[in-house]
Structure 1
Amino acid sequence: MEDLKERDEQEHITAIQTPGALIMKRFLKNKLAVVGLVIIGFILIFCLIGPFFSPYGEYEIFYKDANGTEISMNDATSSEEGSVSKDGLELNLKAPISSKHLLGTDADGRDVFTRLMYGGRISLMFGFCVVILELLIGVALGGIAGYYGKWVDMVIMRLVDVFYCIPFLPLMLMISGVMASMKVPSQQKIYVLMIIMGALKWASVARLVRGQILSIREMEYMQAAKACGLKTSRIITKHLIPNVTSIIIVMATMDLGSVILTESTLSFLGVGLSFPYASWGNMVNAVNNSVIMKNYINIWLPPGIAILLLVMAFNFVGDGLRDAFDPKMKR
């Protein structure tokens, strides 16, 4: 009897799970979320670790001599299609898929597979930096508006309304035109675009966080904390932030896909990262050439598929996290 009682107690202890374990269990039950997580993991490894094993550089241009032998040179300058380089070496433009070039070469004689890895780095860095910036601004202002209310809430919410009215794409086109006229280097341009986009996209985060805090601050345990004389900083860190963390995580995951898609769109339109630097958006821009679009799908299709998979994966993971954090979901 004692052994049976000890076994029952042990089973009861093991049956008790922490909130984190329950969230993970619900998340892993969502097959699409797991698939999305695997896709994100693969793309991260491909883009962050892959370039260390690539035999070619991001700007490496490939030439052919008179005998058809391929010669590579590190050159970050642009060359017009069909031109002949110095020393009589012809650019190896739009080479087909082969063992040397798994996705061929582009219209400038660069390895597409290698640039796909480096382009993914840019797109991922852009997405994470913009989301972090918008969360910092949005959570801070939304939290202040929700907690203090009254005129503070009114001022911040009117500011949110103003930012909602800003036409994003026309503004980005104007800013890009100004930077082009000022001859801002491409490397600096991408950082300016990240800051501007993060500063423009915080409004939705602030509105969501404000709504959550408005509902939380009226709960009994919050009123009890105030009645006990706890400092505002302690109430915010111990009671408010933990209760909005799940929503912030879900929103950040969903926004990552949206921001990466926006960056790709801007680069495709020519207002994002410019040549010779690679991003998935400006690689897809090759479809503007009708010859490449029809006859060389190996140049523009891989980055297009990569964008599709990454955005879809972040959406799957975001949906899975939203369902996992929801305490009303069926176990």
Structure 2
Amino acid sequence: MQTQPSTQPTNQSLNPNIKKKPDTLTKITISKFMKNKLAVIGAVLLFIVITLALFAPLIAQFEPQKQSLLNKLQTPGGEHWLGTDRYGRDVFARILFGARVSLLVGFASVAGSITIGTVIGAVAGYFGGKIDAVLMRIVDVIISIPTIFLLITLVTIFQPGVDKLILIFALTGWTFTARLVRGEFLSLRTREFVLASKTIGTRSHTIIFSHILPNAMGPIIVSATLGVGGVILAESALSYLGLGIQPPTPSWGNMLQDAQNFTIMLKHWWYPLFPGLMILITVLSFNFVGDGLRDALDPKTLD
């Protein structure tokens, strides 16, 4: 016996005025981000750079530190896609492995600085008073010291290296995040949900990290994204000055430092061009993504 198809009208046909569920905050944020063409381009470029860095051992045809003086300063093409340097090392392989170093320093340093800045800013903004005054004076003292001189001094004292650079950048780069988080907490600590939590006796650390901090994550994410590009640029500058990552470990900065000879830069253009281009593309991409996230997470534009 065949069953007849149901002819019962749906709720939507009975009431055409029923509206679909409103989009969630996540969908709205993603939609706004995708409308920013520069941010999308930056995200795609970063995905490519990070993928190349992660799979560098599988992609590179040569060891980044392998020297071959018979093949030095070869033009791009053939086996060496981006040419070779003055020691015969493959530039493409060194760029791939240099990306691993630069991105590691960038991400690890920012993770450390964001953590320190978030904790200090949250404590200062939540408690206020003398605690806020003391912590902000410490921030003012650190900010008053020129960053480049502070970095050079610390690197000179502790000797350059990947682990030491990460530690130095983390310990010197948290002040902006601290001020940013403090401002957010000063605004959020007077909200009804915070006052209600205090009324029922919720502990301060629970209110700070479980109630207020999730509502302040937007600016923190933007700060972290912009910070990675800044750290990569600073690491490249230190390495270019000979105070960062030391050869033979490749980084984009020390590749530029190795190619700074005027004659080499004129006759062998590929030697400084490609690492410089990678720094430019990566830093710009982080900035584009950071700007896109800032606009997408802005509550004033989430309509």
TM-score normalised per structure 1:
0.84
Aligned to 1:44: 50
8 Å CA contact 1:93–1:105 kept in 2: the answer is: yes
8 Å contact from structure 2 (residues 29, 302) kept in 1: no
Q: Which residue is equivalent to 2:3?
A: none
Match of 2:143 among 164, 167, 191: 164
Answering whether residue 229 of structure 2 is matched by residue 260 of structure 1, we say no
> What is the identity, as a one-letter code, of the residue corresponding to 2:185?
I
Distance in 2, Cα, partners of 1:202 & 1:177:
21
Residue 282 of structure 1, CA deviation:
0.9
Determine if the alignment matches structure 1 residue 136 to structure 2 residue 115.
yes
Q: Distance in 1 between matches of 2:263 and 2:251?
A: 21
Among candidates 18, 24, 38, match of residue 30 of structure 2 = 24
Give, in whole Å, the separation in 1 of the partners of 2:239 and 2:272.
13
- Conserved? CA contact 1:250–1:322, under 8 Å: yes
List, as ranges, runs of 4+ consecutive aligned residues in structure 1 with deviation greater than 6 Å: 8-11
CA–CA separation in structure 1 for the residues paired with 2:56 and 2:100? 10
- Give the 3-state SS of the residue equivalent to 1:284 in structure 2: helix
State the match for 2:213 in structure 1.
Answer: 241
Q: Pick from 228, 234, 240: which aligns with 2:200?
A: 228
Identity %: 39
> Which amino acid letter does the alignment assign opposite residue 156 of structure 2?
G
What is the 5 A alignment of 1:64-75?
none
Matched, 1:57 2:75: no
Gap change, CA 1:10 and 1:106, over 3 Å in 2: farther
| Deviation of the 1:174 alpha carbon | 2.9
Matched, 1:124 2:103: yes
Tell me the secondary structure at the aligned position of residue 3 of structure 1. Answer: coil
Q: Does 1:204 align with 2:176?
A: yes
Q: How far apart in 1 are the matches of 2:123 and 2:35? A: 36
**Distance between the aligned counterparts of 2:292 and 2:92, measured in 1?**
31
What is the match of residue 87 of structure 1?
A: none
Correspondence for 1:75: none
1:194 to 166, 186, 197: 166
**Deviation at 1:103?**
1.0
1:155 and 2:155 are equivalent in the alignment? no
Q: Name the CA shift for 1:219/1:52 in 2 (closer, same or farther; >3 Å).
A: same
| 1: CA distance, partners of 2:133 / 2:254 | 42
Taking the aligned partners of 1:205 and 1:135, their CA distance within structure 2 comes to 6
Distance in 2 of aligned mates of 1:161 and 1:291: 45
String of CA shifts for 1:82-121, please: whole Å, max 9, x gaps.
xxxxxxxxx3211122211011110111000100000011
In the alignment, the residues of structure 2 paired with residue 201 and residue 299 of structure 1 have an alpha-carbon distance, to the nearest angstrom, of 31
Structure 2 unaligned blocks of 5 or more:
1-6
Distance 2:271 2:174 in 1: 35
Q: CA RMSD in A?
A: 2.1
Cα contact 2:256–2:276 (8 A) shared by 1? yes
8 Å CA contact 2:33–2:292 kept in 1: the answer is: yes
> What residue number does 1:6 align with?
12
Q: Residues 14 and 279 (structure 1 numbering): CA distance in 2 closer, same or farther, change over 3 Å?
A: farther
2-structure distance, mates of 1:228, 1:295: 73
Number of aligned positions between the proteins: 297
How far the C-alpha of 1:164 sits from its partner, in A, is 0.6
1:12-71 per-position Cα deviation (integer Å, ceiling 9, x unaligned): 5744222111111111111111111000001011121133132211111124xxxxxxxx
- Contact conserved, 1:286 with 1:292, CA < 8 A, in 2? no
**Which secondary structure does the structure 1 equivalent of 2:9 belong to?**
helix
Residue aligned with 2:231, SS? helix
Say yes or no: does 1:95 pair with 2:67.
no
- Cα distance in structure 2, aligned partners of 1:47 and 1:29: 28
Distance of 2:83 and 2:16 partners within structure 1:
60
Give distance in 2, aligned partners of 1:175 and 1:62: 36
Matching residue's letter, 1:102: W
Letter aligned with residue 323 of structure 1: D
